[in-house]
Structure 1
Amino acid sequence: MNYDPRSWAVHKGSDHPFDQAAPPIDNGAARLDPSRYTSRAIFVQEWEKLFARTWLLAAPASDIPDAGDWVRFDIGPESFIIVRQEDGSVAAHYNVCPHRGSRLVTGDMGSQASFTCPFHSWKFGLDGRNQRVTDEETFRPEVLCHGTDLTSVRAEEAVGLVFICMDDNAPPLVDYLAPVLPLLETYRIDRMHVVQHRRSDWAANWKGGIDAFYESYHLHAIHPQTMGVIDDRTHIDLYPGGMSRQFVPMAQPNSHYGDQTGINPGIAALLKDAGIDPVDFDGTAQDSRAAVAHAKRERAARIGLDYSHFSDAQLTDSTIFGIFPNAQIGCHPEAVFLHRFKPHADDPEQFTYETTILYRHVDAQGYGAPGWMGLMDDVDVTGATRPDIVHTGLGEPPGMGEVLDQDSDLLPIVQAGARSRGFKGPLWGEQEARLRHFHAEVDRWLARN
């Protein structure tokens, strides 16, 4: 379904193709068993029937620009090597030697012409084919005939991102992403590079993580500091296959905020970020979004960027896409924010939250990533250096900024409540339509043979 209960005006009167609402989807209103957040049996089914069969966002393509460049992608109990091959295509292999099961790589990323097992120095090409069995003459042929190559999985690229799939029978990636692919293509993520990458272990089920990020209903309660600048009057689109989209209006007050017309400090900062002096701005808070869009168009024209294909909403709002099963992409013309919710290897009440900010560098005064993304002044936005991945363990402050740290503090409390006899399952309102849509798709996958 499409949610617009409070007459949010971005779509009203807009005939821009990007802003067109999706056809309604009736995804039901059943109350779900809360054991889906705690049950080990369901957790195992999700891995075997969902993660092992769907396309998973593995890495930005910009991390492997040249032949031999690789990144390690860990999810659940598995580890994969994502590598750029000599012909320019991408390949993905289980990060395991067929000899005795040793991991081949332990770093986050690198570049090399081949992979050598650290245990017995078996060697493999970028395509996964075995190039050397150490002391091969000491193996009987009937042993080696079982296979000495790496086990590979499908790997495909779209919109500047690399996805993998463990299921040989899954549809091509472009078909899997079809409902949202044309919309994502407008952002030209393939022209962006990583400027920040963080991982954090959280004490909650991976679906609880998605629940927290798939709605803005909670902003007034958990993130009161956002009240003046992030509106909860959003538009939601639901697409087949569990995909979704939500426009989160920026530079205007939340519906729970007392002053709906004044230019508060948060809005003033976003006006300034767009190149507007808030002192000279004579509009109200209801005019600020349109002013920001206009200013960004003018700036783009001055510095030689083509923003003609973007709608005003794309220039002002955080337009977020749910990529089933476990990713969310927050999109802006200047930068995108990748969120991934990765299940733990064996504990249904833990997951790893991984964030990556990709940025399109333009050396021009005033141009930059949206201020709310929180990029520090010392971040190298040129792409000359790829930042290290910062990983914080369970119980450590994630250090991802005030808002994300607030989420990490709350989710273990929600997870504890899911174990209570007093909790009978979620009661989702229309502001949480994306959650209901996501869980309905999870159940469709779990019901398959």
Structure 2
Amino acid sequence: MNYDFRLWDIHVGAPHPFYRHSYVDNGTARPTPARYHDPAFAAEEWEKVFARSWLVACPVSDIREPGDFARFDIGRESFIVVRGDDGEVHAHYNVCPHRGSRLVLDDFGSQSAFTCPFHSWRFDLDGKNVAVTDPETFRPEVLCHDINMTSVRCEVAAGLVFISMDPDIVPVKEWLAPILPQLELYDIDKMHVIQHRRSDWGANWKGGVDAFAEIYHLHAVHPQTQCLMDDRTQIDLYPGGLSRQFVPFAQPSPRFADQESVNPGIALMLRDAGIDPATYGGTAKETRAAVQAAKRKRAADHGLDYDKFSDSQLSDSTVYSLFPNAQIGCHPEAVFLHRFLPHASDPNQFTYDTMILYRHVDAPGYTPPAWMGLSEDIDTSGETRPDVVHTGLGEPPGLGEVLDQDSDLLPIVQAGARSRGFRGPLWSEQEGRLRHFHAELDRRMGLGEPA
């Protein structure tokens, strides 16, 4: 049964062709919890899902010039994404064909060729072998085998580089077609990374996807957000496990008792839009509209192209899920990119990788959204690419109050998912993106609808 279902209408201000609610009935089945902890499920998932999907490898800004490369590790594999001498983007397994050594150990950098640290075999940026150390010591029949790096599909869309281990996968823009025009509005290709954090969490990667794909938990896990975030939301579901959710900012949740006072969270949003909280005469629940109007005025004053955005896109977080393991939170000024990376062998661990990308604009008051919590010393010019800050399992991740709360909670959820007493998740319509994700997962895995 298909019908137009919405929990709440977020009352979009300016009309926009992309604000058409899209609902998919994914049923009411209760899936087995084995998907969260069973090693056999994880092994099959790697082959049927990750090895056959488009995966977000890096922002295109990480490989601006020929020779620029970024390393992308996921599960048991490592890849090199590189800008070739021809200006095109290429991707290869990070493996030397001689003895299997990793070729690149740095997260990113720039070089004219790849040299194996084990025996100094060299490869050009296209992956072609250009030097074998002491070739006369090999029988000719050995070097007649393929001695080039193994390349993978690599395509660029919406300012992001995607790779796939499946040579026959559909083009990335065809897969992204339902949401690609929306993502392209944000000009991510003109943004650069200003913060990159990576931390290891004691949970299955799907537990991370689940937690970040709904805001049903905010009142319980992140009650401090209720003063400035409305947890009424619009959910849109698209083919291929793609989804979108609007998270209204700059107004209190209906669960929050005080809808009138300009609390510190609301004051933060006002200042971010260039409004002095001391002279603001409206109520907290009127702040969202005031922020939208102020941002439109600032854009008009400084020649920013905000006409392409709806009112809600100016104030809210528009969050997209890209199956299987990426989420992009979009704002006109900046986006955040989350990736949930499965562990190579343990389904009870994953790596949470998060970046903030920002487009520098020389206009008074134009900054990344203040709620992103960036420190004042962060370089937003785009001149330098920040290092990846990586914290191991059990270490305080230092991601900020809200994300640290998630990192504390997910191991507790993972422990419960392994209990005999847990018979599988029961999703509400507020968790529709979760059911949509798992329905696509089941389709990829060849699973029928559970009883």
Task: Name the residue aligned to 1:15.
Answer: 15
Task: Name the residue aligned to 1:169.
Answer: 168
Contact 1:227 1:256 in 2 (8 A): yes
Once residues 10 and 298 of structure 1 are traced to their aligned partners in structure 2, the CA distance between those partners, rounded to angstroms, is: 21
Cα distance, 1:10 vs structure 2: 2.2
Task: Name the residue aligned to 2:77.
Answer: 78
1:91 equivalenced with 2:93 (yes/no): no
Once residues 18 and 174 of structure 1 are traced to their aligned partners in structure 2, the CA distance between those partners, rounded to angstroms, is: 17
Once residues 376 and 9 of structure 1 are traced to their aligned partners in structure 2, the CA distance between those partners, rounded to angstroms, is: 31
Task: Name the residue aligned to 1:228.
Answer: 227
Task: Name the residue aligned to 1:388.
Answer: 387
Once residues 61 and 155 of structure 1 are traced to their aligned partners in structure 2, the CA distance between those partners, rounded to angstroms, is: 12
Task: Name the residue aligned to 2:112.
Answer: 113
Cα distance, 1:138 vs structure 2: 1.3
1:274 equivalenced with 2:273 (yes/no): yes
1:216 equivalenced with 2:208 (yes/no): no
Task: Name the residue aligned to 2:6.
Answer: 4
Cα distance, 1:8 vs structure 2: 3.3
Cα distance, 1:29 vs structure 2: 1.2
Task: Name the residue aligned to 2:307.
Answer: 308
Please list the CA deviations of residues 248-267 of structure 1 after superposition, one character each: whole Å capped at 9, or x if unmatched: 00011112111223322211
**Percent of aligned pairs with the same residue?**
67
Task: Name the residue aligned to 2:205.
Answer: 206
Cα distance, 1:18 vs structure 2: 3.0
SS in 1 for 2:380: coil
Cα distance, 1:20 vs structure 2: 2.4
Task: Name the residue aligned to 1:101.
Answer: 100
Cα distance, 1:2 vs structure 2: 6.1
Task: Name the residue aligned to 2:264.
Answer: 265
Task: Name the residue aligned to 1:378.
Answer: 377
Scaled by the length of structure 1, what TM-score is found? Answer: 0.97
Matched AA of 1:9:
I
Once residues 309 and 124 of structure 1 are traced to their aligned partners in structure 2, the CA distance between those partners, rounded to angstroms, is: 44
Question: How many aligned residue pairs are there?
Answer: 445
Cα distance, 1:19 vs structure 2: 2.1
Please list the CA deviations of residues 393-438 of structure 1 after superposition, one character each: whole Å capped at 9, or x if unmatched: 0000111100000000000000000011111110100110000000
Task: Name the residue aligned to 1:443.
Answer: 442
Once residues 47 and 10 of structure 2 are traced to their aligned partners in structure 1, the CA distance between those partners, rounded to angstroms, is: 43
Please list the CA deviations of residues 222-249 of structure 1 after superposition, one character each: whole Å capped at 9, or x if unmatched: 0011010011100000000000000000
Matched AA of 1:203:
G
Scaled by the length of structure 2, what TM-score is found? Answer: 0.97
Cα distance, 1:3 vs structure 2: 5.4
Once residues 285 and 429 of structure 2 are traced to their aligned partners in structure 1, the CA distance between those partners, rounded to angstroms, is: 24
Once residues 10 and 270 of structure 1 are traced to their aligned partners in structure 2, the CA distance between those partners, rounded to angstroms, is: 19
Please list the CA deviations of residues 134-169 of structure 1 after superposition, one character each: whole Å capped at 9, or x if unmatched: 111111122122210000001111111100000011
Contact 1:37 1:349 in 2 (8 A): yes
Once residues 108 and 296 of structure 1 are traced to their aligned partners in structure 2, the CA distance between those partners, rounded to angstroms, is: 36
Cα distance, 1:14 vs structure 2: 5.4
Once residues 376 and 3 of structure 1 are traced to their aligned partners in structure 2, the CA distance between those partners, rounded to angstroms, is: 40
SS in 1 for 2:196: strand
SS in 2 for 1:287: helix
Matched AA of 1:61:
V
With 141-150 and 210-219 compared, the bigger mean Cα shift is at 141-150
Once residues 441 and 78 of structure 2 are traced to their aligned partners in structure 1, the CA distance between those partners, rounded to angstroms, is: 23
CA RMSD of aligned residues (A): 1.2
Specify whether residues 2 and 265 from structure 1 end up closer, same or farther in structure 2 by C-alpha distance, changes over 3 A only.
farther
Once residues 363 and 422 of structure 1 are traced to their aligned partners in structure 2, the CA distance between those partners, rounded to angstroms, is: 57
Write the mapping of 1:23-422 to structure 2, written as runs, cut at 5 A: 24-422=23-421
Please list the CA deviations of residues 62-95 of structure 1 after superposition, one character each: whole Å capped at 9, or x if unmatched: 0110000001000000000100011111100100
Contact 1:3 1:433 in 2 (8 A): no
SS in 2 for 1:92: strand
Once residues 261 and 47 of structure 1 are traced to their aligned partners in structure 2, the CA distance between those partners, rounded to angstroms, is: 50
SS in 2 for 1:428: coil
Matched AA of 1:94:
Y
Once residues 246 and 87 of structure 1 are traced to their aligned partners in structure 2, the CA distance between those partners, rounded to angstroms, is: 38
Please list the CA deviations of residues 114-151 of structure 1 after superposition, one character each: whole Å capped at 9, or x if unmatched: 01111111110000000011111111122122210000
SS in 2 for 1:17: coil
Cα distance, 1:287 vs structure 2: 1.5
Contact 1:3 1:430 in 2 (8 A): no
Once residues 173 and 288 of structure 2 are traced to their aligned partners in structure 1, the CA distance between those partners, rounded to angstroms, is: 33
Once residues 72 and 119 of structure 2 are traced to their aligned partners in structure 1, the CA distance between those partners, rounded to angstroms, is: 23
SS in 2 for 1:216: coil
Contact 2:10 2:232 in 1 (8 A): no
Matched AA of 1:380:
D
With 283-292 and 420-429 compared, the bigger mean Cα shift is at 283-292
Contact 1:3 1:431 in 2 (8 A): no
Once residues 2 and 132 of structure 1 are traced to their aligned partners in structure 2, the CA distance between those partners, rounded to angstroms, is: 61
Once residues 191 and 280 of structure 1 are traced to their aligned partners in structure 2, the CA distance between those partners, rounded to angstroms, is: 35
Once residues 413 and 233 of structure 1 are traced to their aligned partners in structure 2, the CA distance between those partners, rounded to angstroms, is: 26
SS in 2 for 1:286: helix
With 374-383 and 274-283 compared, the bigger mean Cα shift is at 274-283
Once residues 277 and 317 of structure 1 are traced to their aligned partners in structure 2, the CA distance between those partners, rounded to angstroms, is: 20
SS in 1 for 2:198: strand
Matched AA of 2:373:
G
SS in 2 for 1:44: helix
What runs of 5+ residues in structure 1 fail to find an aligned partner? none
Once residues 372 and 122 of structure 2 are traced to their aligned partners in structure 1, the CA distance between those partners, rounded to angstroms, is: 42
SS in 2 for 1:349: coil
